[in-house]
Structure 1
Amino acid sequence: MQDIIKEVRYPVEVNGKWGFIGNDWNLVIPAIYDEVDYFSNGVAAVSLDGKWGYITVNGHSLLDINYDQAGPYSNNQAWVEVNNNYLIIDNSGIVLKEYTYEEVDEILSFSANLYLFEKDGRYGYLDNRGIVINAIYDEASPFDNGAAFVTLKNVSFFIDINGEVINFNNDYKFQEAFSEGLALVLNGNEYGYINRSGNLIIPFSKQLGSSFSEGMAFIFDSKIMKYGYINTSGTEVINSKYDAALPFINGLAFVREGKEAKVIDINENIRYSLPEKCSIDVDSYLKGLLFYNITVDGKEMVINRMSGEIRDFSE
């Protein structure tokens, strides 16, 4: 389980401006910014008057707000955009590497000391020294444990940090990147899971799976059009009866059964119910923080993942 009870800083919009709340729902960083990003490594990108900079968890300025765009901090570095050029900077603002708009259209996520980047609709990888893997892929994911999931000419496969293909059984078509040591693959019209050695761990079946989270993956049974959950042995531990399902995080998962929206634990006990006419912001849900966003009757609100308490910061 993740330790999401630790002191958090979660972005909220108050009267058209953005700030951050702590565990007790109180604003710990005033809502004075036009836009904000999530905190990463104790630093968050914030925007005022069309420019971006960075603040610490105490709300203190780390770097002046004078960049055109700013990405999250990881490993004491971040990307920023200035005059259509991308700069990799350290936490003192010193430029480690500059990329021109002729080289890079957009820098995306960071993992394994590599940035995923886009150029002319294709994807590659770079770092604070130069382009490591050219932008040749139609789709690409961040690196995880030395492997990245990429697609080229409608074929999906894994590469290592040198861009070399990691070979598995050629009969398998990868559907998801590895998560908790397992990857979803397609063989004909059936789905199964293999490990990093290419061995089949969860036998093939007609049920479409998902990535694993906390030892559980949700599955979709197309015969009855319902969702359930399996464990890493492939055992269906929660029967397929739900109309919607999201991954388990800190022992809890969102599901919908008919009109009833609720959060359950791994024993399928209902921890709390949600308003009938609500939708989950999946991006914030998957962040794994103490809070995430939901929409109730068209109004965006914030929910405490553990207690189910919901508050509206727009008023």
Structure 2
Amino acid sequence: MDESGKTILPFKYDRIKYVREGLAGVKLNDKWGFVDKTGGIVIPIIYDTISSFFNNVSVVELNYSWGAINRVGKIIIPFEYDEFYYTPLGLREMVVLKKDTKWGVMDRKGRVILPFKYEQPNEELKKDLNLIKKRKK
């Protein structure tokens, strides 16, 4: 509902979250997708897990693999990663991903920033991210 009490999205979803950049994440039958402010499905309700949109990209999980999509559902980062989290240090435009047994860092356009060579997302990876952050200033 909006501030006036008008229903914006129908009460057919199990959960609604991440209203950001004009889209809301909705859960139905244990799957997630995104709808616009009229309630129209913009991104199909097929994902196991979703993140909020940031700069038009959402990191999502599908069939136990992580990837990223844009606001129309186009795949930006392919679904071939085992784990994901946002980078520390305030570099939200990058994500830390695990593929097979190695960790690396990609930007939200799918470009590799740090190669998949790290055994753990530990201090060595954070040190290399710090170098990137300093270069951006």
Shift of the 129–25 alpha-carbon distance from structure 1 to 2, 3 Å rule, reads same
Deviations 1:234-260 (A, max 9, x none): xxxxxxxxxxxxxxxxxxxxxxxxxxx
2:17 is aligned, of 37, 42, 63, to 37
Aligned to 1:106: 84
Within 5 Å, which residues of 2 pair with 1:1-315?
Answer: 21-98=1-78, 99-101=80-82, 105-108=83-86, 113-115=93-95, 117=96, 125-127=105-107, 128-133=109-114, 135-137=121-123, 159=130, 162=132
Higher relative contact order (CA 8 A, sep 6+): 2
Between the two proteins, the alignment pairs up a number of residues equal to 123
**Aligned partner letter, 1:36:** I
Cα RMSD between the aligned structures?
A: 3.4
Mapped contact 1:79–1:107 kept (Cα < 8 A)? no
CA distance in 2, matches of 1:35, 1:108: 23
Percent of residue pairs identical: 21
Deviations 1:12-48 (A, max 9, x none): xxxxxxxxx2122333212221122121101111111
Deviations 1:37-94 (A, max 9, x none): 1211011111111111100122111011111111112222211111211111122222
Deviations 1:261-309 (A, max 9, x none): xxxxxxxxxxxxxxxxxxxxxxxxxxxxxxxxxxxxxxxxxxxxxxxxx
TM-score when normalising by structure 2: 0.69
Other structure's SS at 1:31 match: coil
TM-score when normalising by structure 1: 0.33
Deviations 1:158-206 (A, max 9, x none): 935x1559xxxxxxxxxxxxxxxxxxxxxxxxxxxxxxxxxxxxxxxxx
Mapped contact 2:91–2:133 kept (Cα < 8 A)? no
Mapped contact 2:15–2:26 kept (Cα < 8 A)? yes
Shift of the 49–163 alpha-carbon distance from structure 1 to 2, 3 Å rule, reads same
Deviations 1:204-241 (A, max 9, x none): xxxxxxxxxxxxxxxxxxxxxxxxxxxxxxxxxxxxxx
Shift of the 130–57 alpha-carbon distance from structure 1 to 2, 3 Å rule, reads same
Other structure's SS at 1:159 match: helix
Deviations 1:129-155 (A, max 9, x none): 2442463249xxxxxxxxxxx7x8xxx
Mapped contact 1:53–1:65 kept (Cα < 8 A)? yes
Mapped contact 1:56–1:62 kept (Cα < 8 A)? yes
Shift of the 137–118 alpha-carbon distance from structure 1 to 2, 3 Å rule, reads farther
Shift of 1:106: 2.8
Shift of the 49–114 alpha-carbon distance from structure 1 to 2, 3 Å rule, reads same
Gaps of 5+ in 2: none
Shift of the 89–70 alpha-carbon distance from structure 1 to 2, 3 Å rule, reads same
Give 1 or 2 for the bigger CA radius of gyration. 1
